[in-house]
Amino acid sequence: MSGLKLFRANTTNSGMTEVMPRLAEVEADVQGLVETYMEVLLG
């Protein structure tokens, strides 16, 4: 994984929270699957 960091909005304290690299990696995997099978998922 690159040196980029991923953040998400934290509504609890109106700030930002860093997404842990492993979580970001899993999210990227899921996004790839959704994009690959978008037609199948949406019919």
**Under 8 Å CB-to-CB from 9, ≥6 apart: which residues?**
16, 17
**What are the boundaries of each domain within the chain?**
19-43
For the entire predicted model, the pTM comes to: 0.47
Residue 36 pLDDT class (50, 70, 90 cuts)? very high
pLDDT at 5: 80
pLDDT in tens, 13-32: 778 988 877 777 888 899 99
- Name the band, by pLDDT with cuts 50, 70 and 90, for residue 40: very high
Which has the closest alpha carbon to 6: 16, 30, 15, 31?
Answer: 16
Rounded to the nearest integer, the mean pLDDT of the chain is: 84
With a cut of 60, say whether residue 1 has pLDDT above it: no
